[in-house]
Amino acid sequence: MITLSKIMAACDFSEYSKKTLEYAACLAEKCKAELIIVNIINQRDIDSILAISDKQFDRTVEKNVEKLADDYVKRETEKRTRQIEKLLEEISCTHLSVKKVVRVGVPFPELIRAIEDEQVDLMVVGPKGRGNIAGVLFGSNAEKLFRHCPVPLLSVRSKKE
């Protein structure tokens, strides 16, 4: 018998996120599983901030930019956690056991690491990404995710797709 004790859903706050979370929450409720919602802050955004100090000879500027990058990650983590909580309220599943995970990195490999670190049994994703996970859930990156995901992967699609 297959037991699903941890179900992870990728959430990038695109138009597909709500439906993806609804499916994942429904499965988690029926399986009495923990729901883990993961969001990735794209390393590219951090690198853009850090590029400001590139080739600066003044260590003060470099330290200020590094602090700016750290502050950005902290603010984004707090903001995205609130957004996840709002989505959970919208789909009426605040009664579930939910773990919110916000990570920094390149989205595709970071999703794979999150799956492994959290030891999930099933990954739920939307059909397309936007923002932080842009490029991960369509095109060659989707192929990578489907080929390399260490657990079963459910792609949630709407009826008109």
Q: Which domains does the chain have, with CATH numbers?
A: 6-155 (3.40.50.620)
What pLDDT sits at residue 106?
87
The pLDDT, as a whole number, for residue 47 is 86
Instruction: Please give the pLDDT value at position 68.
Output: 83
pLDDT of 61 = 63
pLDDT of residue 121: 97
What are the distances in angstroms from CA 37 to CA 46, 48, 50, 110? Answer: 22, 26, 28, 13
The widest CA-to-CA distance across the chain, in whole angstroms, is 62
What local confidence, expressed as pLDDT, does residue 10 receive?
A: 92
**Strand, coil or helix: what is 152?**
coil
Identify the segments of the chain with pLDDT beneath 50: 131-140
Q: Specify the pTM.
A: 0.83
Q: Positive or negative, the Cα torsion across 107, 92, 100, 32? A: negative
| Beta bridge partners of residue 38, listed in sequence order | 10, 101
| φ, ψ of residue 12 in degrees (nearest 5) | -120, 10
**CA–CA separation, 93 and 82 (whole Å):** 15
